[in-house]
Amino acid sequence: MLLGRVQPFLKQLLSPVILVLIWEASVRLGFVDSEFLPSPGQILQAMREMGAAELLPELAATLFRIAIGFFIAAVVGVLLGSWMAISSRANGFFYPILASTYAIPKSSFIPLFILWFGLGFWPIVLVVFIACALPVVVYTFHGISEVPKLRVWSALSFGVSRRDLFWSVLLPAAMPEILVGMRIALGFAFTVAIAGEMIVSTTGLGKLIFSYGEGGVYPSMFAVICVLLIVAYVADLLFMAFIDYYLRWLDRGHSSGGGA
């Protein structure tokens, strides 16, 4: 039983392990200049030298900004996407705004936020919010819009009020789509947070990457990048585990409700 759960995880590790081995061999054999691309061994050594005392505070600063921006985006995105799906007037008003900004790189808003809010915490949180809110809005809108009409009519025929219809029928039915949008948003959150920290922050992993890169300390720069990759990967795994748990619970709830 335990082996069956571990095997998928081990399969996911296979390709990164092979890549690291090829990378290490390429540097050792002289195919790659270690001055510009340090070997995994050099990066690991740099990570040891930096230690938790240097890495953990910067990691905590980055994750805090991501968490605040992502949480606000999730709440606002679900509410706005739902409103647009339910109200044609809201959709007509907000759709042009969202459509015109969707393709713009979200990091381009950072200079504007610096002008408005100065350097530091809020420009990064706001750019994370914008980057995360858009996919959540889009997936929420499509998730609620695609709820079968028969399910809605059936709920209304059983006496469900229009106020309760959203919470008891539309939102639960759209949750798979909403969660997909949130997972995509989580990846955006890491990307724009690091970009923002490189420009406007004195703390965070992005600032460490920029500082070490500017100083030519490439093993330490790659060490921070590796920490970021690991943390982002673990965050995605945890979110996927939450999605699986929630959807299993949702399926059980629907099954028991149907059986009653």
pLDDT, tens digit, for every residue of 54-67? 899 999 999 999 99
Q: What is the C-alpha to C-alpha distance for residues 144 and 176, in angstroms, rounded to an integer?
A: 10
Say what the pTM is: 0.85
Q: Mean per-residue pLDDT for 83-111?
A: 86
144-192 per-position pLDDT tens digit: 998 888 777 777 677 777 777 777 888 888 999 999 999 999 999 999 9
- What is the rounded distance in angstroms from the CA atom of residue 186 to the CA atom of residue 232? 9
Burial degree of 86 (CB within 10 A; 0-12, 13-18, 19+): middle
Distance of alpha carbon 188 from alpha carbon 133, whole angstroms = 10
Domains in the chain: ranges and CATH: 42-254 (1.10.3720.10)
The type of residue at 32 is V
Q: What percentage of the chain carries pLDDT values higher than 70?
A: 91
Could you tell me the two tokens for 217? 């300390």
Q: Which amino acid is at 207?
A: K
